[in-house]
Structure 1
Amino acid sequence: MTKVLLSVHVLAAIVLIGPVTVAASLFPRHARAKEVGVLRVLHRISTGYAVAGLAVPVFGIALAGQMHVLGDAWLVISMALTAVAALLLALVIVPGQRRVLAALEKDENAGGPNLGMVTGLFALAWAVVVVLMIVRPGSTTGV
């Protein structure tokens, strides 16, 4: 069962988190160029994959329970960073994209958070989580 959970967790992370990270990262550049059609697609990817991406921590927690590592520091930090990334996406990035898109569709200037910086922090959080998942500092599992 552990191998199945690990496989689903890793596949979900690659297939779901990767695209939302890329779409969110591309959005600010295309917003500066006022490419509304592209922005609609990137926003749709960001919102759709954000919801589907909830599968990653769900399977990750199930996997951690199966491996008896729920209390390990590297996993607690990874879960906290995952929560930070999710909050950035749900509370700042997606609403910011919506505001920018709405303003550009009305031919107005959109203010708000610096989406480039916030999506960089979002991507950095995921990069640190990936490193922690691979390195697992203090782990006694042998790698």
Structure 2
Amino acid sequence: MNTVLVSLHVVAAVFIVGPMAILPQTALRAVRAQQAGTVKTLARSTMVFSLLSLLVAILGFGALATSDKKDGLTVTTPWVLISLVLYVVAIALSLLAVVPALRSAGEHLSDPSTPILQNHDYKRIAMASGVVSLLLVAIVVLMVWKP
């Protein structure tokens, strides 16, 4: 059972967390091209994938609960706990900074009275999504390394 849950956890991470990290980077290109509809769609998609990433965490808890007792893995195992904290920060940043910045950029691009996007929207998207990506990379390193 543990092998199945770990496999589902990894597959879900690839197909859910991957897009969660990549879509805002794609949105930056759409912002530069001033494609309001695309930016709005990518904002919605980023929100959906960020929320779906909770499934990855649930599967991770399932894998942790079914792990071999001799491994001594619990939520308080340092690399598990650090990964969990980094994930909470990443999803919060994605939902509370990246998605609103994408929505704002989409609205600014849709408004004919603002021909040029305000620079702070682009910077917020770039910085926040970059930090989210770095946090997700750190989680992957912790999951593989298991210090």
TM-score of the superposed pair, with normalisation by structure 2: 0.85
Q: Structure 1 stretches of 5 or more lacking a match?
A: 138-143
Distance 1:9 1:81 in 2: 17
Distance 2:50 2:84 in 1: 16
| Contact map agreement 2:39 2:103 (CA 8 A) in 1 | no
Query: Which one-letter code corresponds to 1:117 in the other structure?
Result: M
Report the number of matched residues.
137
Q: State the shift of 1:50 in Å.
A: 1.6
Query: Which one-letter code corresponds to 1:18 in the other structure?
Result: G
Please say if 1:92 is aligned against 2:97.
yes
Aligned to 1:141: none
Query: Which one-letter code corresponds to 1:75 in the other structure?
Result: V
Q: State the shift of 1:3 in Å.
A: 0.8
Structure 2 residue corresponding to 1:121, chosen from 114, 131, 139: 131
Q: State the shift of 1:134 in Å.
A: 0.3
Q: State the shift of 1:6 in Å.
A: 0.4
Distance 2:93 2:29 in 1: 19
Percentage identity across paired residues of the two chains: 28
Deviates more, 1:18-27 or 1:40-49: 40-49
Q: State the shift of 1:2 in Å.
A: 0.5
Please say if 1:65 is aligned against 2:65.
yes
Query: C-alpha root-mean-square deviation of aligned residues, in Å?
Result: 1.5
Distance 1:27 1:116 in 2: 10
Q: State the shift of 1:13 in Å.
A: 0.4
Distance 1:25 1:60 in 2: 26
Q: Structure 2 stretches of 5 or more lacking a match?
A: none
| Contact map agreement 2:24 2:98 (CA 8 A) in 1 | yes
**What pairs up with 1:30-109 in 2 under 5 angstroms?**
30-67=30-67, 68-69=72-73, 70-107=75-112, 108=114, 109=117
Distance 1:38 1:90 in 2: 18
Aligned to 1:140: none
Query: Which one-letter code corresponds to 1:22 in the other structure?
Result: I
Query: Which one-letter code corresponds to 2:34 in the other structure?
Result: K
Distance 1:72 1:44 in 2: 35
Deviates more, 1:30-39 or 1:72-81: 30-39
